[in-house]
Amino acid sequence: MSWKLGRVAGIDLFLHPTFLLVLLPGVFGGGLSLLFILALFGCVVLHELGHALMARRFGIETLDITLYPIGGVARLERMPRAPGAELLIALAGPAVNFAIVAGLMGLGLLGLGASDSTAFLGDFLDSLMVVNLVLGVFNLIPAFPMDGGRVLRALLSGWLGRARATTIAATIGRGLAMAFGIYALFHLNLLHMALAAFIYLAAGAEERGVLAEERQRTHGDGPSERDMWSAPPGYRWVHRGQGVWQLAPIVVTTSGSRPSPSSWAS
Ligand SMILES: [Zn+2]
């Protein structure tokens, strides 16, 4: 169950109740201002919209966007299988964070928050800039379930195939989650331990999903290799051979199929 916040660009926006676990201590504990948390989650929504609007360019609609304490999740109606689409959709989220950083730097250069009377605003914008930088960089870690895991998979699948590329990105994700979990255990940080467990499980779930899909495909009742590579409506892949050339989509007029929904985490 989630609470509906509204609708952006034709996509329903939900807030998961567990989000209050972060919001309430932050506000009443005095650690973070309510305004800052709202601004931060505005940035997370923009990050998810980056994925959603790029996916829309490839003919993939987003069912909804839900905000969890650990970040946002945009549920795409289907996953892009072609590496070029996956690469661009994955990069679009962090790109939004870096654009926000650039925008806030621009405001700083214009002198906003520089005088004594606006020092509070300056601190606020500086903190928001740092958080966006961290969000952008964290999401580019080349491991599932981060966006960088999808970037890595897209880049590798041209050479190794989708299953092998997924296993590599998921294995890196599980390895990093284990290291982070052990670190959090030594520091008795429950929130970080939960985050590590989430990353570990999400990396495994992604791998299982893709491997099941591949098994189905090789038994002939899943999407065929041709479907795997089918470009979105209006696009065709330049090259289906090896390497990065196949990442480039060109515009033509074709039609596409619409399989079952899947999640696009963080
Ligand atoms: Zn993302």
C-alpha 80 to ligand 1 mean position (Å)? 14
C-alpha 140 to ligand 1 mean position (Å)? 9
Instruction: Tell me: pLDDT of 119 over 50.
Output: yes
C-alpha 115 to ligand 1 mean position (Å)? 35
What pLDDT is recorded for position 220? 59
* Least reliable range by pLDDT among 33-42, 96-105, 169-178, 243-252: 243-252
Average pLDDT in the chain? 77
68 three-state secondary structure: strand
What value does the mean pLDDT take over residues 28-39? 72
Q: What is the dihedral of CA 161, 164, 169, 170, to 10 degrees?
A: 140
User: How many other CB atoms sit within 10 Å of the CB of residue 35?
Assistant: 10
146 three-state secondary structure: coil
C-alpha 44 to ligand 1 mean position (Å)? 9
Do the bridges between strand 62-68 and strand 11-15 make them parallel or antiparallel, or are there none, so unpaired? parallel
Cβ < 5 A residues, ion ligand 1: 93, 147, 266
Task: Name residue 210's amino acid.
Answer: V
Confidence of residue 130 (pLDDT cuts 50, 70, 90): very high
Query: Known catalytic residues?
Result: 48
Q: State in Å, rounded, how far the first CA of the chain is from the last one.
A: 19
C-alpha 178 to ligand 1 mean position (Å)? 21
CA–CA gap between residue 80 and residue 98 (Å, rounded)? 23
CA atoms within 13 A on the CB side of 67: 25
C-alpha 127 to ligand 1 mean position (Å)? 20
What pLDDT is recorded for position 97? 95
CA atoms within 13 A on the CB side of 118: 12
CA–CA gap between residue 229 and residue 242 (Å, rounded)? 13
CA–CA gap between residue 62 and residue 107 (Å, rounded)? 32
The answer to whether the beta carbons of residues 80 and 232 sit under 8 Å apart is yes
Confidence of residue 136 (pLDDT cuts 50, 70, 90): very high
Is the pTM for the entire model greater than 0.85?
no
- Helix (H) or strand (E) holding 177, with range, is helix 162-186
What pLDDT is recorded for position 95? 95
In tens, the pLDDT along 60-107 reads 888 888 887 777 888 888 777 777 788 888 999 999 999 999 999 888
Phi, then psi, of 3 in degrees rounded to 5: -95, 135
Q: What is the dihedral of CA 105, 9, 49, 19, to 10 degrees?
A: 100
What pLDDT is recorded for position 8? 84
Instruction: Tell me: pLDDT of 182 over 80.
Output: yes
Instruction: Tell me: pLDDT of 202 over 60.
Output: yes
In tens, the pLDDT along 51-73 reads 999 888 877 888 888 887 777 88
What pLDDT is recorded for position 17? 79
C-alpha 77 to ligand 1 mean position (Å)? 16
The answer to whether the beta carbons of residues 101 and 132 sit under 8 Å apart is yes
C-alpha 154 to ligand 1 mean position (Å)? 15
C-alpha 117 to ligand 1 mean position (Å)? 36
Given 3-state DSSP classes, what are the helix, strand and coil percentages for the chain, each rounded to the nearest 5? 60, 15, 25
The answer to whether the beta carbons of residues 4 and 12 sit under 8 Å apart is yes
Instruction: Tell me: pLDDT of 166 over 60.
Output: yes
In tens, the pLDDT along 215-253 reads 776 665 555 554 455 555 555 555 444 444 445 554 444
- Helix (H) or strand (E) holding 79, with range, is none
What value does the mean pLDDT take over residues 175-188? 91
